[in-house]
Amino acid sequence: MLCTLTGELVRQPVVTPGGILYDRETIEKHIKQHGTCPITNEPLSAEDLIPVQFPNTEAVQPRKLHGDSLPALLKQFQTEHDSVLFERHTLCAEIEKVRLELSQALYTNEAACRVIARLLRDRDTARAEIEQIQRVIGRPREEMSFLPGLDLEARNKITQKHLELSTLRKQRIISPTLTTIELLKSYRQTDSFPPHQAARPGILCLDIHPVHVELALTGGVDKTAVIFDQHLGKKVTTLTGHKKTVTSTLFHPSEEVVITGSSDSQVWIWASTSQSRSVYKTVHQITIHTNEIVGCSLNATYDYLVTASRDATWAFHNIRTGQSMLQVTDPKKSPITCVMFHPDGLIFATGTENAEVRIWDIKSQKNVFNFEPKHEDAITDLCFSENGFYLATAGKDNILKLWDLRGPKDIDSLKMDAVVQKLRYDESGKYLAVATGTEIRIFTGKHLEHVHTLDEHTGPVTDVKFGKDASMLASVSMDRTLKFWGPKL
């Protein structure tokens, strides 16, 4: 029997005059408070309750059902709620403890990573210094003192090419398709791409293929060189292997060969192994220098290469064999900052940290001329005009100078707003592009008359190059972009 009020089994069953069954204890509590029947609300007293005879009061009571009434459910929910709160409190305490332990572990790990990174840098620096010392001290005597020099074949090739180009230069006619000054003034940015890794921003050098002008070769702070196709708008291939920043890049004009120089003091010669130019392999590694490579320049024969380094030397190499033939030290042992062959291939120029601009004869390996008056600070770049008549130089003194090689004499100079990083003539010698600060300024090649300024870069411009007939211009910058410029359509 179940109590009508609680729904639980009755221990002392009683009924009201109306015949409703209650447990005595429960109904008496209600009567004491209210004096009525909880079901009918009629007056009710304890004397009105009629006991119900229950034959076996000692029988085992069935288990109570705790969820079969509202009070029982509330009590059960309260118990569960208290249990959950207690468990939550315990878990929060555990979580806080674990958080503190994790924070300490992360701090310890970060400190360990910093120490490891510093040790790795120290290790790499030490290894580089050891390699440089080994190249100087451990280099075989034959390599140090008895480089083969210019053989008869090399001398004949250089002389023959010099005579051939000197004759042609006198008969040189400017291309009828050369871009006019009026059209050059309309040049605007036509494309912009980030070919190198974003994690190590900055592009340091650039070359445009002499035949396939849509191809650009860039070298970056990320230790790679990239061949980029402007028409496709994507990378053709990435050349990896240098241990430090790539500071110089060159396309070979007639073969599927590229040349890269790096701060790791090495020059690599790469050859394509596929018709699509998507795969290159290293065919020669030139390791004669002991400090950063600052420039590479092809001889007019396209068989030989001159390199310059901050180890205060320039060297002459055979591209076919990868053999170093000459290495000559600057007379004042000043670090060399730039180098370029004259278009005829018999002489070349170097700029130095102590503001010297030297002209060298490749056959005699002698410094045959120094330009005066000098710049007041280190030379940053120099460039021969393609017709061979002029040499433009720039220094950290922010001065741009133009020299007439037929004098030779200083015929013009300009004070720039920022340091000039690169100078490039177009193939006619009519225009000179100057990378200064975040701008590219274009001047006439003979009188340094300003033509146009391009200022879309957001970081220092590091290199610039004209395309064929000055029909386009390409530039790279520390803002990680390779930009192409052309006439406004």
> Tens digits of per-residue pLDDT, 289-301?
999 999 999 999 9
| CA gap 2, 18 in Å, rounded | 17
> Tens digits of per-residue pLDDT, 394-430?
999 999 999 999 888 889 999 999 999 999 999 889 9
> Tens digits of per-residue pLDDT, 356-376?
999 999 999 999 999 988 899
Residue 188's pLDDT is what? Answer: 95
Residue 61's pLDDT is what? Answer: 56
Nearest CA to 472 out of 230, 143, 238 is that of: 230
Nearest CA to 30 out of 54, 57, 3, 52 is that of: 3
Q: Which residues pair with 351 in a beta bridge?
A: 338, 357
- 366-370 and 379-384: which strand pairing? unpaired
Mean pLDDT over 75-103 rounds to 85
Residue 76's pLDDT is what? Answer: 81
> Tens digits of per-residue pLDDT, 420-469?
999 999 988 999 999 999 999 999 988 899 999 999 999 999 999 999 99
Q: Which residues pair with 261 in a beta bridge?
A: 248, 267
pLDDT at 140 over 50: no
Better-scored residue on pLDDT, 284 or 131: 284
Residue 71's pLDDT is what? Answer: 77
| CA gap 10, 324 in Å, rounded | 112
Q: Which residue has the tokens 């007439």?
A: 404
pLDDT at 326 over 90: yes
- 482-487 and 187-193: which strand pairing? antiparallel
Residue 62's pLDDT is what? Answer: 54
> Residue 200 — very low, low, confident or very high, per pLDDT cuts 50/70/90?
confident
Does the global pTM surpass 0.75? no
**DSSP-assigned states of every residue in 101-138:** HHHHHHHHHHHHHHHHHHHHHHHHHHHHHHHHHHHHHS
pLDDT at 225 over 60: yes
**DSSP-assigned states of every residue in 430-467:** SEEEEEETTEEEEEETTT--EEEEE---SS-EEEEEE-
Residue 147's pLDDT is what? Answer: 84
pLDDT at 65 over 60: no
pLDDT at 68 over 70: no
Mean pLDDT over 376-392 rounds to 93
